[in-house]
Amino acid sequence: MKHKNTPSPLQQRFLKKLLPLWPALKGSLAQVRKPCIRPNCRACALGDKHLNYLLAFTHKGRRRCLYVPRAMVQVLKRALENGRRIEQLLYEMGPILLREYRAQNPAQTGPAMQVKHKKTHPKS
Ligand SMILES: [Zn+2]
């Protein structure tokens, strides 16, 4: 039997793939143009306003938005991309886990089970 604190090879492979995918998040980055609070701003007077980034995400089922400082925009873009990669990894896990189970338990699936059945209950 496996020990609880000894990760399986599959678990180790999974963790190894996860580690470089930090930072990671789920949500979406939106660009908005907003006026600033400076009294004599040229950009605002011309109607150009200012480009700001917002991060939209869901928290406990509710849609939320947070202002994103300019210095964090590239970091968050990378985190979003990493989040998509992690999601892809998770989608791949179901088939891998089932394939691994079948490889370790051949007697309980398909043709092998029929053979076992015939052996225990011979018809002739
Ligand atoms: Zn302004």
- pLDDT for the residue 116: 54
Average pLDDT of the residues in 12-41: 94
Exposed (0-12), middle (13-18) or buried (19+): which is 110, by Cβ within 10 Å?
exposed
pTM: 0.71
Interval 99-121: pLDDT, tens: 999 998 886 655 555 555 555 55
- pLDDT for the residue 106: 80
Cα-to-centroid distance, 108 and ligand 1 (Å): 69
Cα-to-centroid distance, 47 and ligand 1 (Å): 9
Interval 65-104: pLDDT, tens: 999 999 999 999 999 999 999 999 999 999 999 999 999 8
Average pLDDT of the residues in 22-46: 93
